[in-house]
Amino acid sequence: ETGVTQTPRHLVMGMTNKKSLKCEQHLGHNAMYWYKQSAKKPLELMFVYSLEERVENNSVPSRFSPECPNSSHLFLHLHTLQPEDSALYLCASSQDGLAGRGLETQYFGPGTRLLVL
Amino acid sequence: GNSVTQMEGPVTLSEEAFLTINCTYTATGYPSLFWYVQYPGEGLQLLLKATKADDKGSNKGFEATYRKETTSFHLEKGSVQVSDSAVYFCALSNAGNNRKLIWGLGTSLAVNP
């Protein structure tokens, strides 16, 4: 299944580094998402983009900066992260139906395993 | 508000055993319900879904029935295989949520040969 790809798959960075996570979807969808998955916690929705416009930002710290240059690509720019930011970062996409319906199925990439030292 | 509660794991079964993973939900209106599966080292994959009461979602031998009267969406499989070892997530999506999926904590399943 290669509908949603993410690079890199693994990333180790120091707290002063700047790095970016990349997500690409090949499904023709118009909405993309960033999630954070930490052990023993529910999946946390971070950002939602619909038609390249950010429609949701769930109180995510400013050290995480998303970018959606077109409907197929989504980036998450990282700078001055903390060790507690170590997690699996998942990208997902969906075909947005009627506005606000929220019933569409989301398709996930394999994730980027991030370790902050 | 909306919430999903899954049975705690880990669940350990022998091959060919019957599987049930319980999921109950709290929601206003008529949510859609989902089961996602995460195999080791991978992202989440949609396993099955149901969009209205009494619908039965099914895929790869797994089934779940949307029971509005008990607000449940339990996942079942008649005969599990070692390759079914994974983490299973129950989730709901509601018209008022504007694209949010509300997730359970996940249930880890280990199937031994």
Pairing mode, strands B44-50 and A64-70: unpaired
Binned at pLDDT 50, 70 and 90, residue A78 comes out as: very high
Q: Which has more confidence, B19 or A56?
A: B19
Residue in chain B nearest A91 by alpha carbon: B43
Q: Where are the beta strands (DSSP E) in chain B?
A: 3-6, 11-14, 19-21, 23-26, 32-38, 44-50, 56-59, 62-65, 75-77, 86-93, 101-103, 107-112
Q: Are B67 and B58 in contact (CB under 8 A)?
A: no
Residues A36/A38/A40/A46 CA torsion (nearest 10 deg): -20
Ordered per-residue pLDDT tens for chain B, 113 residues: 889 999 888 999 999 999 999 999 998 888 899 999 999 888 899 999 998 899 999 999 999 999 999 999 999 999 999 999 999 999 998 766 556 788 999 999 999 99
Interface of B with A in 70-109 (CB under 8 A): 89, 93-101, 103-105
* pLDDT tens by residue, A1-41: 579 999 999 999 998 889 999 999 999 998 999 999 998 78
CB of B42 less than 8 A from some CB of A: yes
Give ∠ CA A8-A11-A16 in degrees, rounded to 5: 125
Q: Any bridge partners for residue B59, and if so which?
A: B62
Q: What is the pLDDT of residue A101?
A: 47
Q: What is the pLDDT of residue A100?
A: 45
Residues of A with Cβ-Cβ distance to B93 under 8 angstroms: 102-104
